[in-house]
Amino acid sequence: MTARLANTNGFALPTVILLVALLTVLLAGGLSRVRADRQVAHASEETGNAFAIAQTGMQAYMGSVAGRPADGDSVRINVVGGYANVVAHVLKTPVDTMANQLFLIRSTGVAINPNIGSTPQGRRTVAQFAEWQTGYIERRATLTMANGVRIRNGSSTIVIWGTDACGQEPAIPAIRTTYMTGPPNPPLDTVGAPPLVQHGAGTGLLIANQTDVNWPSVVGGGIVPDYRVFRQGDTSFPIQLITGNLSVGGTSTGSGLLIVTGDLLLSGTSFSFEGVILVGGKIDFGSSFNQVRGLVMSGLNEQLGLNPQRTEISGGGKDLHLYFDACRVNQALAPLTGLTPVQNAWLDSWAAY
């Protein structure tokens, strides 16, 4: 080894150390910023997850409540990615025990990512006004027509009975309406509680209101239907909500709760239905054979301040058979019992209480 190499101090090591330190500082700074950004993104994502969990918990609660909840009823619902704490508070208890109770349902979603730890990573509270619906309907007559009725004379059979076909409830009048042409020829075959035919029973609005059907709420989305079309041949008693007019022809059968916001126009060979029919406008019983076992109401648009046309009972061989049947009425209304969200009354970022 030469003296030159032995005595010269090198600078490679300090240079390398300096460069490594410099790169380490730069890398650490960069990583720190990326980590901060990821944390912000993660927090935002978990808040979104908590929101979804809160909504899921709310819907699961409302769909699963079997009986009317007590004030302050609370439950924890576990869902994928966390859990929701749901609390129901009564806001209004009407004196009429059959009327709907108003609730406020609050759901706090808590998001937990087990890869990060057991500490909640996101929390969000939403709330929803909801009504406990009893699914009850006032049975004032087998055929209630707030819009009046025009009966055309002819060789038709018109049978409207107010006696309960399943024998569970007292008999009710056959017809209740504001106006009726008459006397029809041939005469009506009516059975039930007197007076069998109540015409001139009040204004259309009065008769519509006395049904206790909250028609504005029904039209405004207060009922969530199973279908938005008429279910021909369906015997499962679904809720069918048709917006506008409904025309049914041919040979038709159906069941459940049939709601038509416009007119119900029947034609063809026969129409047979089991359950409850609620119509905003008129009904034209224009089928050759019209039969309903349950309850029928028309002219409910009177509640909206509209003036629907009169219901038509056609003559000329178009038979009409209406039978009050409490069992089929109850079966048709059974799906309505439960907590139903009040449309357009949803709250975000609500206080926990």
Partner 1 sequence: MTRRGLTLAELLIALVVFGILGTALARLMIGNSRFVSRQEAQLEARQTARAGMNSVVAELRMVSDGGLIAAAADSVTVRIPYAFGVLCKNQYAVLAPPDSVLYASAVMAGLAYRLPSGAYTFNTAVTVTGTTASTTDCTADSIRSIPGGIRITLSQNNLAPAGTIFYLFQQITYRFAASAALPGRRALWRRIGATNEEILSPFNTAARFAFLVGSRLAVQTTPPATLDSIQGLELRLVGESDGVPSGSSTPAQYTLAPRIKFVNRVLQ
Binding site for partner 1 (CB under 8 A): 2-4, 26, 30, 33-34, 37, 40-41, 44, 47, 71, 89-95, 102, 104, 127, 129, 214, 216-217, 219-222, 342-351, 353
Query: What span, in angstroms and rounded, lies between the C-alpha atoms of 143 and 282?
Result: 12
Q: Which amino acid is at 19?
A: L
| Residue 155 or 343 with smaller CB distance to partner 1 | 343
In the chain, what's the furthest Cα-to-Cα distance? 138
C-alpha distances in Å from residue 133, one per residue of 327, 335, 337, 352:
19, 10, 5, 26
Shortest distance, position 107 Cβ to partner 1, whole Å: 13
Query: What span, in angstroms and rounded, lies between the C-alpha atoms of 335 and 323?
Result: 22
Shortest distance, position 33 Cβ to partner 1, whole Å: 6
| Residue 80 or 95 with smaller CB distance to partner 1 | 95
Shortest distance, position 98 Cβ to partner 1, whole Å: 14
With residue 321 as reference, give the H or E element that holds it: strand 319-324
Shortest distance, position 305 Cβ to partner 1, whole Å: 11
| Residue 33 or 76 with smaller CB distance to partner 1 | 33
DSSP character string of 218-241: IIIIIS--SBSS--TT--S--EEE
Coil vs helix vs strand at 322: strand
Shortest distance, position 282 Cβ to partner 1, whole Å: 21
Query: What span, in angstroms and rounded, lies between the C-alpha atoms of 338 and 280?
Result: 24
Shortest distance, position 105 Cβ to partner 1, whole Å: 11
| Residue 138 or 169 with smaller CB distance to partner 1 | 138
- Contact partners, residue 210, CB within 8 Å, separation at least 6: 138, 140, 202
- Kindly state the tokens that stand for 189: 């075959």
| Residue 124 or 140 with smaller CB distance to partner 1 | 124
| Residue 242 or 266 with smaller CB distance to partner 1 | 242
